[in-house]
Structure 1
Amino acid sequence: MAVFVAMCFARTVYAVDPNRAISQYMRESWGLERGFTGGAVTSIAQGPNGYLWIGTEKGLVRFDGLSFQVFQQQTPTALPIGPVQELIADSQSNLWILLANTTILRYRDGKFDPGHSQAAVGITSIGRRRDGSALLSSLALGPLGYQAGKFDVLTAPSTPGRSDSPQAAVMNDELSSRLSWATGVATHRFAKPNTSVAAIAETSDGIIWLGTPDRGLFYLKDGQVHDVAQAVEGRINCLLPMANGELWIGTDKGVLRWTGSRITREGVPSELSKVSALSAIRDRDGNLWIGTSHGLLRSNAGGVSFDDDGTVASDLAVNSVFEDREGDIWLGTPRGIERLRDSTFVSYAVDEELRSTSGGPVYIDAGGRTWFAPFNGGLHWLKDGKIESVTAGGLDRDVVYSITGSHDELWAGRQRGGLTRLRVARGGFETKTYTHADGLLQDSVYAVHQNRDGSVWAGTLSGGVSELRDGKFTSYTMANGMPSNTVTAMAEGADGSMWFATPVGLTQLLHGQLRTYTETDGLPSPDIDCLLEDSSHVLWVGTTSGLAYFNAGTIHIPRNVPESLHEQIFGVAEDTNGWLWVATSNHVLRVRRDRLLSGAIAEEDVREYGTSDGLSGVEGVKRQQSVVEDPLGRIWFSMNHGLSVVDPIRAVRGAAPVLAKIDAVSVDGDLIDIKTAVRVPSVSQRITFGFSGVNLSLPERIRYKYRLDGFDRGWSEPVGVREAIYTNLDPGSYTFRVIAENCDGVWNMDGPSLNLTVVPTFYQTNWFLLLCAAAVGVLAWVVYQWHVGQVTSRMDLQFIERLSERTRIARELHDTLLQSFQGLILHFQTARDLIPRDPSKAEKSLDTALQSADEAMVEGRNAIYDIRSSTLIDDDLAHMITALGEELGAKIEEGARPGFSVVEEGTAKPLDPIFRDDVYHIVREALRNSFKHSEAQKIEAEITYGKRLLRVRIRDDGKGIDRKVLEEGERAGHWGLPGMRERAKRIGAHLAVWSEAGAGTEVELYVSGSLIYESASPQLLSRFFRRSGARDKGL
């Protein structure tokens, strides 16, 4: 019967499993439909950085596992490379490319060596020596070696046809056209072989072998070329060195063997005698892989395996066979490349004869049979790649829910047929079935378990659980303590306990007592699907809401576990390495048991598997034994799409470390050269580092961490993208580093690095910063000096203001009050003198003196009123003027009192207190004159708040001011007008007076807003100097 096996990930230091047929490897191909445009493949090699190099009929191609890069030319100005005949990678990190025109190229450190770019020296074949160095065959010079940067002609100078050859010497690395076979050494001069060489190799005894297309086989020993006496029929296509100096020879007429003394077919499998062998390799486990004109075959101790299910009837030639460093086998065909690789899992899907590919219970007996029962019914076993079915006891017509057993005995729980025992007898099986009639609680047996003492437990679908011991059943149901009559799984504890999984909890039977654990005891869900007691006697419980375990009398839920372990758990098994293998509703995973118990789970402690790992599906099945360990330590999974098996020993063998590399750097979208020192201007907004990791087995699982030393404090979070972006880096030196992780979670800490310098602009240089610091210092000093000067100036201003005010007061007292008192004294003196002579005149003089005294008192009161501090004056100028007018009007008799009003235009603004006081004093003087002297009927004060100035007008309709007074600017013996002008001049204001006799008087005062408005004057220095200058002039 056909068995389908899918495979996945190849392991690094191991070849593919030689115990599998070729059809059991995972095979993946790349052709036109997957981006490979190279045409027919002629040769395959792997470079030191992990890339796969592919020689084709169209040129040279490089593959990183995800994408192909075609090398059309060696340099932008060179001719096309053209068809490639052979490729080898030597032990000195050189990739040698043999073109169909006999030109040899060398690729190293990311570029083609110009010393070899035009070296047409008649090279017809290349290979590797025992030490891994390059071996070449030249039409002009014969066999050549390459060591330490030099070519060596391996034939001795005395070789016929070579003694006069100027090239028969050690040559430097500069192969050039002067060594061309067409410039003096023709092919007819060669003694042996006098034809081109199609294959060249060195055996373990140091002999170099030359295989020709039509002249047979030659060998080079002690500097001399000899032919093999025995003729070789057909074209020699490939040579394969073996152990002990043996050589296998692949020809158009089959595979031959050189024993050390002769050519023979003895020791060569008969299946290889008639194939047309085009290529051959020996992998690291000693398996022979031979590419033929009709497919691939493998030869080892187990025989010959063919590519096409036991035949070689294939129309696809294998021109090249290659084993990469991860152990995968690569094939070059006329359609592209193919890969064979090992997988973690081998998956079996039963064919249509068995009616179902859906899994069910699985069990492996002591004889190596794998028993399984698909959902759709029947019982089958698999052994040595063959599947057999059981028909005895009606098992082929019933659904088997559960399978268990020991030694040569098998027990099956059936959907309708009860509990059946199978024993091997006379090449067949004997069956014994127990049903309800025999004491079984129910004929639908969902779970079966056989204890160490041989007793058998049968958990039914809805009837409870029965124990069969010595032919008799003992039953446990809800009537005697079971929480449910449905039993889905069972396990035996080391202490003799029996554990039953039910939809409503976990039940323990110990010493005849039943105890049930539910969610209140710590279970994530009471609905349980599977049980396992591990080697440390910890009971693992798989529920519909995740995994739990019972240890030391308590149920625990593992901490810090991946989300997949919170899914429905269908099966758990333990391997000999201490790992738990778990099948959930949507995942298959492996997790370290001890880390689950401790709760300290790291990234490398969990590994999830999928179809790329060889699984045919990742959906588990609800059966008691869907994940089990076999006697060989392998873990079997019954999945929704068939059976899968994994060898834990091979599964934990580390995959090849990923070789990370930095591919490119772009600055604001423009690529820059990273082969030289990387310097970028600091004005760059976006720097992008492009990187990649080469791992041919499973490149889509590669993850990266990166960091930029000088900027990042640590490694980035693992990412799958292949670029890192940094923006607005400060000037300085940086180092970009990247590391890569393989599919096993192993990080290759030996990652590449790239130094980067962000060059500062002139304003980011140290000298500019020092200059700026000096400038800031000077500016701070200037600001400080200005501040000190301003404080000093304000103090001076206050002093000057006080001094000016005192001077004014003194002058007013002298010019008004003191003069009044002086006049009063004169009146009194006159009266004293008149009393003796003329008492009536003396009386009049006394009356005049008393009147002068009253006037002197008024003038004194007014002077004191002028001294009042501005802090005692209302901030609202209009309100202050209104109050002043009311006060002045109250001194006049009711009938003679003029009407007074204040008009305010514009929006009132806060005023500087000092300027406001001066304005107020000027207005007060004008109003006092109007009220006292104008004899007006109406007096009006108008305040206008403009954007650029404050204007105040005082108007009356009185008798006016004498023209002479206006012209002279003052009235004799009075200081009102001069005082007003002095105040106006001191604050930088403009004062104008208009008056006509009998037409009233108008006084206008306006002040610049930049001086008087508090909020409108940010130019403090200008304001200060203007103010102080004005006041200085006022002195």
Structure 2
Amino acid sequence: MIRSLHLAASMALVLLTSGLVHAQKNRIDTLLLPFRALTIEDGLSQGMVNTILQDKYGFMWFGTKDGLNRYDGYTFTVFRQDPEDSTTLRNNYIHSLYEDKQGRLWVGTGEGLELFDRDSERFIHARAGSTPIRDIVLGIAQDAHNDLWLARNNGLAKLTFTGKTSSDGMPPCTIKRYLENSCLVSSDRAGTIWASQYDLNSFHVLPNHAGNDVLDTLQLDRPVGNTSTGRSPLALTGLTTIEDTVNRKLYGLHMFGIAQLDGHSHRATSLLEVGTELGQMRGTNAAVDPNGRLWLAIHSGIYLFDPATRKFSRALPRDQNLMLQAQGGAKCAYRDRNGLIWIGTSGYGLVTYDPRSGRFNTVKTASCGSMQALPDGRVSVAYHAGFLNVFDPATNAWPTWIPWSEKVDDPALDMLSRANRVFVRDERGIYWFNHEGILTYDPVQDRITRVARDTAAIRAFPEETYNETFLLEGDSLIWSGSAQTLCRFDRRTGLFHYVPYPRSRLGDSERFLHAIDRDDNGILWLGTATGLYCYDRRKNGVARWLVYTHDPSDPASLSSDIIYSLLNDPKDPEVLWVGTNGGGLNRLHKRTGKFVRYNSKHGLPNDVVYGILPDEAGNLWMSTNKGLSRFSPGTGAFRNFDASVGLQSDEFNRYAYCRQSDGTLFFGGVMGFNYFKPAELTDDSTNSPIRVTGIKLINGTLDHRAEGSPLDRPAYLSEGITIPHSANMVTFEFATLEFSAPEEHRYQYKLEGFDGDWIIAGHDRSAVYTNLDPGTYTFRVRGDNRDGIWDTQGTAFQLVVLPPWWRTWWAYGLYLFALVGGVLLFIRIRTVGLNRQKEMLERTVAERTAALHREKEEADRQRERAEHSGKIKQQFLANMSHEIRTPMNAITGMTGILRRNAHLPEQEKYLDAIAKSSESLLVIINDVLDLSKMEAGKIVLGSVRFDPRAVVQGVQEILRFKAEDKKLYLRMDIDPMVPGSLQGDPTRLQQIIMNLVGNAIKFTTEGGVSVNMTATMVDHAKALVRINVTDTGIGVATDRRDRIFEEFDQGQGSTAFKYGGTGLGLSISRRLAQMQGGDITVTSEVGKGSTFTVSIPFALAKDAEIPHGQDPGVPSGTRPDGSLRDLRILLAEDNEFNAMVAQDELADAIPGVQVDVAVNGRIAVEMVQANDYDLVLMDVQMPEMNGHEATRAIRALDGAKSRIPIIAITANVLKEEVERCKESGMDGYVPKPFRREELVNAIATATNETLRGS
């Protein structure tokens, strides 16, 4: 069936050309060639290709009916007309292309001549003087004087360039016209112009730059063609020229054939005359291949003419899918710098042909089954379709098929036709075949014989065995095999001998024998479907078997159990090469039994190895499912060949390979076979240019025409780019401009300054880099040519990554300036601050300590409360605090007034009760606020240097009076090892100790309270401080020791009733300790007392200890020094009782004070405007105008009244409210209920600041 299809295809080709052969002067042969195609599906703008050019940079250009195309081997860039852009083509129909000696690219269109500006990729509309050239430009050529000649639809024209290029890029020129009808024009290397009229004469033009051009009419050496158009029989009509630069010959293609031209005369020698059935050769375009053959693009197809032999052939594609491209007519032919032939077709795109593809001799036949080299130089070939033939490579001919036929009346014929894909031919010319036994065929006697098995063999193995392959040994033995046994047949005696295979872990049912080879030691190597078998008969006549199989856990085992081919290395007897099905090539070292594997990961094109043959150089040649491969064992390198270089197909067959004595190798496949001498296959050492074809930044392709683009010209013309640091993801795209098989090119690249070595990119033609540091880099890329030879030079492209603005030289200058300025400013501020601090500390350190400590404690409570509560809860707490503190201020104040004034002795206890109740209520409010802040996470711990001794001593000073009232002792014991300077929050530490000592005093009726402070060094920078508070009070029951730290726990009901409190103190204290990395524990015995232990780690302060007497971490206020007198104060207060308290307290504390009262903010502003006050005490929440509004109104007044000190007196103690007071312009803040000392200190501070500022 395959053979019949092959013959049918051949008949179709014969019929296709039969009409041409009948009428032409010369016989036309048909060549089936491995063409490749490029169509609109590949990106070509349109299928009719009128002109082809390769520019000086290596790019291919194609002119079509719909646009100009530039091709880099992978992608097309299309240039078309844009009616809204005057720098694009005037017309999309491209007739001609020409690159002149100056490297300028000229484009002939259906509406004039265009000059392509490569830098801007725009088109300059050519003109002569101010006159545009708008004719159809069919051809372009340049003479020896660098003038351009244009073949137009209305005649021949010459452009003479007269000066430097104009501002728009067009070189100034004049135009001179010759002839009058449609013309063709071409030039040779000497600069001679050859011109032709379509239907009349052709001319040898002798150009003259001054304009005295001479046109000599060309004549043939003999008449050709007809004279129906009025032409002379000797005229060359419709001439185009093509030059063979290697053989220094110039050919003219004319309407009726091919002639050889003489560049120094007007005579032409006819080489070929063709009939008009070719569609006339007028305007035929041609190219000369490296062998000197002319490739002709004719309206009726693609033809080849060999001037040396005068052989004229038609070229058709081997691939039937490309038949339309070849049959549809050709428009132009071109040979690029690598010898590749390009054909532009009339509507079907492009086809290419690589003349180097003929390096492998190809014989197209049906699918080959088996091959054997014969002693006389011929080769026997068996086919899957059931016939046998002999091929003579010397004559490239088949003498005849082996003549078995229907005349052979033998029942074994049918068996033979099914068996002959595998054979062996012995020294007598007898063919031996395997199929359900052994068959022989004697071509001389035309006789088929079935070899009967002897009786002993039948008795031992009664079932027929299926044999797959043969091995001849000497002149008598034939080795074969089956799934069960190795078979030896003695041709002299006719006896069979069967050797059972050893057992295999893979079983016996599929153990088909695919390959047999015998080494120099007489050992048989068997390649089967279940592994590799070694049969050694050398030792005392006792056979020894070795079996090699695939072990997934052993990389030194056989790569696949199915073996197709074997070769004992002709240069190393210790090596056996094994070709497998799916496992690639294996190298067995016979002595060690270890395998080395080679597969597609190492360069083998396919992992099915059908055949292995050696060459004289020690290389191995292998046939696969993806072409042939040459392997060099010394280097481990593979060189692969596929159908694109002329192989019969990419797919080869098992058994179809052999080697002749002269070194010629044969490999057969599904569409015939190839034969070649490896020594004659030379690699191409030339390199094609490699270009950077595109740059991407962050996945966006750079367009050099876009405003602000880093590229000012196309990437392939640019030497480098500069990019900002923000665009730090760069992709380089590149291509080797060699077009025979672009997809096979491999690449290596590196970025100097980033990559240490070359990156192996394989067939990937892009490189991506990200996160490049600022600097200058050089991107280098190189590729290999079509024979795998690497270009050592490649191309380079510079990349500059700019630093971010904060790393530029001017930024560093600013940093230096800022650093110097900052140091100077710091020194200045520090000096001023230290002087001021020294001044204030010397005068007020003692007075301010207590006041600022109270302010800090109150502010902390307010902050903790504000940070915990949500908006609604915070407002509620603020309102409740304000509403309670406002009347409390009056209560506590009036209590103090009554105590200072004369009263009855029996009234003292009532006043004392009022004072203590007020103080307890204030403690409750403060505890609730602290707890709220903690739960909201709004308490921020401070970090200042402090003296822990001062903290403990401060607690003693505050609480000793309470202890004395209960006749209790209060002792403080501080270990000398306690550091004098720690880093932390002394206020919170004091709060914890105050709570613990306060509770101890509260729950103790006899004895007293002891406080002991010790410290243990954790490391060189940290100390663990322990404070033990021990009392002789009521103690804590064991089951309540953990619960006392819970919120609102007050002990047993009777205890809570007796001692009072909120149950928050211990909870708050433990939380504060834990926030500082510590904890509080308790040991206690009911009726004997308790010990609470605070353990907190503190960092050691690096600087000197705090000066003696300074409060731990809290700045002090100002205490009145006696100069506070005769003040006139305005009190803005809407509460009558609070106003009375403030007036009385101020009158008692400040001699000569005068206090005026305003019941709201509006009246306060009016009174400030009308009177001179030393100070304003401002309530915040008042009717009509609140304290904030009143303060801002006062600050807006003119003159000195806007600077009057204003102190807020408010019951709102939240941090936000304090900040609002400062923001509105108040100078101080005193919470309600206020203590007289606190208020007086605030007044002293405000008035002193005013005096210093005045």
TM-score band, normalised by shorter chain: 0.5 to 0.7
Contact 1:710–1:735 under 8 Å retained in 2: yes
Counterpart position of 2:224:
none
SS of alignment partner, residue 760 of structure 1? coil
- From 353, 370, 378, give the equivalent of 1:340: 353
Q: Distance in 2 between matches of 1:769 and 1:138?
A: 65
- From 173, 176, 187, give the equivalent of 1:201: 187
> What is the CA distance between 1:514 and its match in structure 2?
3.6
> What is the CA distance between 1:754 and its match in structure 2?
2.6
Instruction: Report whether the alignment pairs 1:226 with 2:246.
Output: no
Contact 1:203–1:247 under 8 Å retained in 2: no
Q: Distance in 2 between matches of 1:331 and 1:947?
A: 98
Counterpart position of 2:895:
none
> What is the CA distance between 1:85 and its match in structure 2?
2.4
Question: 1:656 and 1:408, CA in 2 relative to 1: closer, same or farther beyond 3 A?
Answer: farther
Matched positions, count: 809
Counterpart position of 2:253:
250
Instruction: Report whether the alignment pairs 1:581 with 2:652.
Output: no
Counterpart position of 2:109:
99
Question: 1:339 and 1:128, CA in 2 relative to 1: closer, same or farther beyond 3 A?
Answer: farther
Question: 1:390 and 1:436, CA in 2 relative to 1: closer, same or farther beyond 3 A?
Answer: farther
Instruction: Report whether the alignment pairs 1:659 with 2:659.
Output: no
Amino acid at match of 2:615: D
Amino acid at match of 1:460: G
Q: Per-residue displacement from partner, 1:408-438 (whole Å, max 9, x unpaired)? A: 8363322136142545x5xx96666644359
Counterpart position of 2:73:
65
Q: Per-residue displacement from partner, 1:1011-1031 (whole Å, max 9, x unpaired)? A: x97956999999967537879
- From 294, 297, 308, give the equivalent of 2:303: 297
Counterpart position of 2:964:
929
RMSD: 5.7
- From 651, 656, 660, give the equivalent of 1:626: 656
Contact 1:200–1:209 under 8 Å retained in 2: yes
Q: Per-residue displacement from partner, 1:588-644 (whole Å, max 9, x unpaired)? A: 55243323xxxx63xxx12455566666766665x4x33433567554444467655
> What is the CA distance between 1:578 and its match in structure 2?
3.3
Contact 2:57–2:689 under 8 Å retained in 1: yes
Contact 1:666–1:689 under 8 Å retained in 2: yes
Contact 1:464–1:487 under 8 Å retained in 2: no
> What is the CA distance between 1:555 and its match in structure 2?
3.6
Contact 1:323–1:330 under 8 Å retained in 2: yes
Counterpart position of 1:471:
492
Contact 1:448–1:456 under 8 Å retained in 2: no
> What is the CA distance between 1:172 and its match in structure 2?
5.8
Question: 1:646 and 1:775, CA in 2 relative to 1: closer, same or farther beyond 3 A?
Answer: farther
SS of alignment partner, residue 925 of structure 1? helix
- From 97, 101, 108, give the equivalent of 1:87: 97
SS of alignment partner, residue 272 of structure 2? coil
Question: 1:403 and 1:112, CA in 2 relative to 1: closer, same or farther beyond 3 A?
Answer: farther
Counterpart position of 2:629:
590
Counterpart position of 2:578:
541
SS of alignment partner, residue 713 of structure 1? coil
SS of alignment partner, residue 198 of structure 1? strand
SS of alignment partner, residue 726 of structure 2? coil
Contact 1:523–1:555 under 8 Å retained in 2: no
- From 241, 245, 265, give the equivalent of 1:239: 241
Instruction: Report whether the alignment pairs 1:516 with 2:565.
Output: no
Q: Distance in 2 between matches of 1:492 and 1:956?
A: 111
- From 293, 313, 316, give the equivalent of 2:328: 316
Q: Distance in 2 between matches of 1:367 and 1:506?
A: 34
Counterpart position of 1:327:
339
Q: Distance in 2 between matches of 1:1001 and 1:549?
A: 99
> What is the CA distance between 1:377 and its match in structure 2?
4.0
SS of alignment partner, residue 967 of structure 2? helix
Question: 1:757 and 1:550, CA in 2 relative to 1: closer, same or farther beyond 3 A?
Answer: closer
Counterpart position of 1:850:
none
Counterpart position of 1:557:
595
TM-score, normalisation: structure 1: 0.64
> What is the CA distance between 1:46 and its match in structure 2?
1.1
Counterpart position of 1:890:
none
Instruction: Report whether the alignment pairs 1:446 with 2:468.
Output: yes
Instruction: Report whether the alignment pairs 1:411 with 2:404.
Output: no
Instruction: Report whether the alignment pairs 1:606 with 2:643.
Output: no
Amino acid at match of 2:251: W
- From 517, 530, 541, give the equivalent of 1:491: 517
Q: Which moved more, 1:431-440 or 1:293-302?
A: 431-440
Counterpart position of 2:287:
281
Instruction: Report whether the alignment pairs 1:41 with 2:70.
Output: no
SS of alignment partner, residue 610 of structure 2? strand
Q: Distance in 2 between matches of 1:715 and 1:662?
A: 17
Amino acid at match of 2:693: D
Contact 1:531–1:572 under 8 Å retained in 2: yes
SS of alignment partner, residue 763 of structure 1? helix
SS of alignment partner, residue 299 of structure 1? strand
Instruction: Report whether the alignment pairs 1:458 with 2:479.
Output: yes
Question: 1:408 and 1:229, CA in 2 relative to 1: closer, same or farther beyond 3 A?
Answer: farther
> What is the CA distance between 1:570 and its match in structure 2?
3.3
> What is the CA distance between 1:320 and its match in structure 2?
0.5
Question: 1:539 and 1:73, CA in 2 relative to 1: closer, same or farther beyond 3 A?
Answer: same
Structure 2 spans left out of the alignment, 5+ residues: 11-27, 209-213, 221-231, 459-463, 550-555, 703-708, 714-719, 846-922, 970-986, 1007-1057, 1077-1097, 1120-1254
Q: Per-residue displacement from partner, 1:759-810 (whole Å, max 9, x unpaired)? A: 2334212464476579789999999x99xx99xx9xxx9xxx9xxxxxxxxx
Q: Distance in 2 between matches of 1:60 and 1:658?
A: 23
> What is the CA distance between 1:238 and its match in structure 2?
1.7
Counterpart position of 1:214:
199
Question: 1:269 and 1:549, CA in 2 relative to 1: closer, same or farther beyond 3 A?
Answer: farther
Q: Distance in 2 between matches of 1:481 and 1:727?
A: 60
Counterpart position of 2:706:
none
SS of alignment partner, residue 711 of structure 1? coil
Contact 1:365–1:408 under 8 Å retained in 2: no
Counterpart position of 1:420:
440
> What is the CA distance between 1:286 and its match in structure 2?
0.7
Amino acid at match of 2:777: Y
Contact 1:419–1:435 under 8 Å retained in 2: no
Counterpart position of 2:916:
none
> What is the CA distance between 1:44 and its match in structure 2?
0.9
Q: Per-residue displacement from partner, 1:899-924 (whole Å, max 9, x unpaired)? A: xxx99998999998435522553477
Q: Per-residue displacement from partner, 1:155-205 (whole Å, max 9, x unpaired)? A: xxxxxxxxxxxx8xx766679697443xxx554xxxxx676641333388x
> What is the CA distance between 1:287 and its match in structure 2?
0.9
> What is the CA distance between 1:252 and its match in structure 2?
2.7
Contact 1:199–1:212 under 8 Å retained in 2: no
State percent identity of aligned pairs. 20
Structure 1 spans left out of the alignment, 5+ residues: 6-19, 145-150, 154-166, 188-192, 352-356, 802-901, 935-942, 960-999
Question: 1:1032 and 1:589, CA in 2 relative to 1: closer, same or farther beyond 3 A?
Answer: farther
TM-score, normalisation: structure 2: 0.54
Question: 1:766 and 1:267, CA in 2 relative to 1: closer, same or farther beyond 3 A?
Answer: closer
Bigger relative CO (Cα 8 Å, ≥ 6 apart): 1
SS of alignment partner, residue 747 of structure 1? coil
Counterpart position of 1:402:
422
> What is the CA distance between 1:755 and its match in structure 2?
2.3
